[in-house]
Amino acid sequence: MDGIFKRQLLAGGLSALWAVGLYALPTMPAEFHVFQTNATGKTWRETGELKMPFAMGLVTLKSSMLTQGYALKHDIFDKNVSGQRLFLWTKGDEEIIMSVWEKTLSTTGCSWGLSLKEGQSDNKKTAAKSAVQPKESKDNDKQN
């Protein structure tokens, strides 16, 4: 990917990507071959490729997301650079960031990750922590 596209991607919230199991993750199409997975939430959840030309890969990925009930919120592309797209898909509180690019004439690359809307991550993390950690009783607080 060229520098302009990477800067757009980073400005769009790559640092906010995370997936901790609070959401149902999208299912990529059967043609999507994953070669890297990362569940830390600090980078893309999955990176892989489709063995098909870029235009066909875009249609396949879009169709898969729409079939699962995701709505396309943003489609970002640089008119000066062909073969690269950045998508933001939404479904309820979920936001999926997806980067799609032309690797070769017959291969489409794709990376995707879960992003939370601004201000929402703290609430979700707090809810997840309180669900896991038992609260101390008020009697214990008074003794300290």
Give the pLDDT score at 116.
57
pLDDT category at 6 given cuts 50, 70, 90 is very low
Percent of the chain with pLDDT over 70: 64
* All structural domains of the chain with their residue ranges: 3-19+26-129
Contacts of residue 104, defined as CB under 8 A and 6 or more positions apart, other chains included, come to none
**Structure-block tokens of residue 68:** 């699962």
pLDDT category at 80 given cuts 50, 70, 90 is confident
| Mean pLDDT, range 73-99, rounded to an integer | 91
How far apart (Å, rounded) are the C-alpha atoms in residues 127 and 24?
Answer: 17
At 34, the amino acid letter reads V
Beta-carbon count within 10 A of 15 CB: 10
What beta strand segments (E) does 1-135 contain?
A: 32-37, 46-50, 71-76, 84-91, 94-104, 107-115
> What average pLDDT does the structure give for the chain?
75
Chain centre to alpha carbon of residue 123:
19
114 HSE (CA, 13 A, CB side): 22
Give the pLDDT score at 79.
82
How far apart (Å, rounded) are the C-alpha atoms in residues 122 and 57?
Answer: 35
